[in-house]
Copies of this chain bind each other. A is one copy, B any other.
Amino acid sequence: MPTTALEQPARVDEQLCFALYSASKTLTAAYRQALGELGLTYPQYLTMLALWETDGRTVAELGRAIDLDSGTLSPLLRRLETSGLIRRERSVLDERVVRVLLTAQGRALESPAAAARARVEAATCLSQEEFTQLRSLLHRLRTNVAAAQTRLW
Which residues of A approach B to under 8 Å, CB–CB?
Answer: 1-3, 5-6, 9-12, 14-31, 33, 42, 46, 49-50, 52-53, 65-67, 110-111, 114-115, 117-118, 120-126, 130-131, 133-135, 137-142, 144-146, 148-149, 152
Contact = CB atoms under 8 A, between A and B. Distances in A.
Copies in the complex: 2
A32 to B, nearest CB: 10
A16 B149 contact: no
Secondary structure class of chain A's binding surface, majority of residues: helix
A114 to B, nearest CB: 4
Contacts of A121: 16
Contact of A15 (B16, B49, B141): B49
